[in-house]
Chains A and B, each alone.
Chain A
């Protein structure tokens, strides 16, 4: 057993026994970046991945599983010999603190000092946009698997960026499809919107309102309300929503604000009066809020494991993570998508026959790869992976200690059905890069 194998095993042992997972994993990862000098000369040039994800700020609790799960995934890849069977993969982790200038600085540090070959980044779209400036300038591969503003693959397009997460337009599109069915069935006429007052919130809101107006023009938005990020008291918003007596409400709310809103709204009985379809409720939310999440509410997810239980890759992810993190350790949406990014890297290298960035970029262009969501293809013009968005009803399952989406009513909206705009329009949006 080689030194690096032993170190990986020790790391996994640490992860299983220790409560403070990511403290150890970051310390260990830091130490592991020093191991190149210790690894024997028989291995070929190691391949370094810079993982830039927040463990501070609003994104921290979303990325927690991912940050501890990626080293385990990489260890498994390395057991198979690494990329192309000969390049051991090393992970260098940095915290971007959910701040764009920290993200830009850490990306520079990873590229120039740690000499990473590829970046996995990040959680916040604003940070992703700043990171793209750096990776494009230095011609470094960039896999995005959580930050999902459509700007990343369109306005701010870089040929080095590949997106593994359904983008904001695709997600809005999915909600429109689901809500449209409900509106037609229940003869809904009016709705109220509540959104986080920042770019993602505004973008998501616009996507939904324009999309719904096209298919169900008879449904009108009676009111829109916006709140500042970090709002702790939704009482006044909730009373205002109830006073308007809408048929349903639409929410462009994510992160901890979503949890605060859900908790306060359900305690005030809002959802008994006003249906709230399509809020972002990912697997990590289902797990974390299992005691407080109102059942029956319609949520939106990006890569829930229970939607693809038949896929062998998904089964492998579940098995591996539960072995490493305990019976409750099902991987959440974000972890699954970053694992897919790792898988995409492996397959891209194989297709290219090389680990050079230019070769992998060429190999992945418009290519099909195997993911936990089945075989998926990258869109030619934007490098967006054609992946579904999932809308379903929160429901207690006998198979899991936390609620999932009810399988009978869950809808999967394919990416290519809702990825606006057309490739022709995407080309017009792309900004010119020097």
Chain B
């Protein structure tokens, strides 16, 4: 490994490869349970990674990102319901069609919401994204005739081949891996570096002739589409969707995962998803005070470990390779 490689790419590739190998091996564990947990980790990890496109790479925090996750889930669920046969089954082609419905509908929603949000930054961006998120939640919740309101939509049973947890898992793994590669390509492209400039110094970017709003909007739509993809996978995984998927509390999950894993790398949020989901599963077996637990962890991370786990590991490695240039914990 060349010395400059670490400074340029951080831990992304080795961590991603390690995680991929581990993910491939999960179904070897006895029983169906861990496969189900890993599927959840992957889907929510994708959601968190899409959030990080806005947060880690573009420097804006959105509290309404779950709206696109939810819109993708609902678009997919509603098409699913219409494509189902009278007997309640869905054909293989129709199933993939319904999955494909998630990202584009979420993208349209992101286009509309983003059009307004990218005019602002900082706290105003955060507030406006929160307001739109809540508005979308409220629409889905209230429009009973179209979305079945807070009843949610049930009956999202995949075709029998994918009812097997392992098969569905590998499908999810394939989709999430491809999405991850796509996001990585985007962040390593000139577009991705424009994002980083917008994060670090928006004024300078404008002086350089970059159309700030347009670029922010494009990134916003991309992020929304990947969130919609995650949402589309969530419906058949959970066998149902409900309006809560759009609310600010769900948005908070993406934020927590990104923070825990580290916003400085494309795989940080995925690692965060692993830690968050496993932690939740274990803690909830013994106590109901999960919010207290995760709240305290987030507090400690914000205060002492802002780069998340990956940030910490990178720092240690850099410190060991004395004098390779400390690039800080949020470099990507």
A contacts B: CB pair < 8 Å: yes
Taking beta carbons and an 8 Å cutoff, which residues of A are in contact with B? 22-23, 26-27, 30, 33, 55-56, 94-95, 99-101, 104-106, 108-109, 112-113, 125-126, 129-130, 132-134, 137, 149, 151, 156, 197-199, 202, 431-434
Q: Which residues of B contact A156 (CB under 8 A)?
A: 154
Q: Which residues of B contact A33 (CB under 8 A)?
A: 285
Query: Are B149 and A95 touching (Cβ within 8 A)?
Result: no
Taking beta carbons and an 8 Å cutoff, which residues of B are in contact with A? 31-33, 36, 40, 86-90, 141-142, 144, 148-152, 154-157, 160, 163, 234, 238-240, 242, 244-245, 281, 284-291
Chain B: CB-nearest residue to A95 = B288
| A26-B287, A100-B240, A100-B244 given; A198·B150 CB < 8 A | yes
Most chain B CB inside 10 Å of its own CB: which residue of A22, A95, A105: A105
Query: Are A133 and B155 touching (Cβ within 8 A)?
Result: yes
Q: Which residues of A contact B238 (CB under 8 A)?
A: 101, 104-105, 130, 133
Complex Cα gap A130–B238 (Å): 8
Chain A: CB-nearest residue to B165 = A112
Query: Are A133 and B36 touching (Cβ within 8 A)?
Result: no
Q: Which residues of A contact B288 (CB under 8 A)?
A: 22-23, 26, 55-56, 95
Q: Which residues of B contact A26 (CB under 8 A)?
A: 286-288
Q: Which residues of A contact B152 (CB under 8 A)?
A: 100, 126, 129-130
Query: Are A137 and B157 touching (Cβ within 8 A)?
Result: yes
Query: Are B245 and A101 touching (Cβ within 8 A)?
Result: yes
Complex Cα gap A197–B32 (Å): 39
Please name 20 further chain A to chain B contacts, defined as beta carbons within 8 Å, in addition to the given A56-B291, A112-B36, A126-B151, sorted by A numbering.
A26-B287, A101-B240, A101-B244, A104-B238, A104-B239, A105-B40, A106-B284, A112-B33, A126-B150, A130-B154, A130-B239, A133-B156, A133-B157, A133-B239, A134-B239, A137-B157, A137-B163, A199-B144, A199-B151, A434-B90
- Identify 20 residue pairs between A and B in the complex whose beta-carbon atoms are under 8 Å apart, listed by A's number: A26-B286, A100-B242, A101-B240, A101-B244, A101-B245, A104-B238, A104-B239, A105-B238, A113-B33, A125-B151, A126-B150, A126-B151, A130-B238, A130-B239, A134-B239, A151-B151, A198-B149, A198-B150, A199-B148, A433-B155
Query: Are A132 and B154 touching (Cβ within 8 A)?
Result: yes
Complex Cα gap A56–B291 (Å): 10
Q: Is the interface of A mostly helix, strand, loop or mixed?
A: helix
Nearest Cβ distance between residue B8 and chain A, in whole angstroms? 39
Q: Which residues of A contact B87 (CB under 8 A)?
A: 432, 434
Chain A: CB-nearest residue to B87 = A432
Nearest Cβ distance between residue B117 and chain A, in whole angstroms? 24
Leading 4 A-B pairs by shortest Cβ distance: A133-B239, A112-B33, A434-B88, A100-B242
Complex Cα gap A129–B142 (Å): 18
Complex Cα gap A54–B286 (Å): 15
Chain A: CB-nearest residue to B89 = A434
Q: Which residues of B contact A101 (CB under 8 A)?
A: 234, 238, 240, 242, 244-245
Most chain B CB inside 10 Å of its own CB: which residue of A101, A112, A132: A101
Complex Cα gap A160–B39 (Å): 26
Q: Which residues of B contact A100 (CB under 8 A)?
A: 152, 240, 242, 244
Nearest Cβ distance between residue A359 and chain B, in whole angstroms? 24
| A94-B284, A95-B284 given; A133·B33 CB < 8 A | no
Chain A: CB-nearest residue to B291 = A56
Q: Which residues of A contact B151 (CB under 8 A)?
A: 125-126, 129, 149, 151, 199
Q: Which residues of B contact A133 (CB under 8 A)?
A: 154-157, 238-240
Q: Which residues of A contact B154 (CB under 8 A)?
A: 129-130, 132-133, 156
Query: Are A432 and B287 touching (Cβ within 8 A)?
Result: no
Q: Which residues of A contact B144 (CB under 8 A)?
A: 199, 202
| A99-B244, A100-B242, A156-B154 given; A433·B88 CB < 8 A | yes
Q: Which residues of A contact B40 (CB under 8 A)?
A: 105
Complex Cα gap A149–B33 (Å): 30
Q: Which residues of A contact B240 (CB under 8 A)?
A: 100-101, 104, 129-130, 133
Complex Cα gap A126–B244 (Å): 11
Complex Cα gap A149–B152 (Å): 13
Most chain A CB inside 10 Å of its own CB: which residue of B90, B149, B291: B149
Complex Cα gap A149–B148 (Å): 14
Q: Which residues of B contact A22 (CB under 8 A)?
A: 288
Nearest Cβ distance between residue A253 and chain B, in whole angstroms? 15
Most chain A CB inside 10 Å of its own CB: which residue of B141, B163, B239: B239
Query: Are A130 and B242 touching (Cβ within 8 A)?
Result: yes
Q: Which residues of A contact B242 (CB under 8 A)?
A: 99-101, 126, 130
Nearest Cβ distance between residue B68 and chain A, in whole angstroms? 16
Q: Which residues of A contact B234 (CB under 8 A)?
A: 101
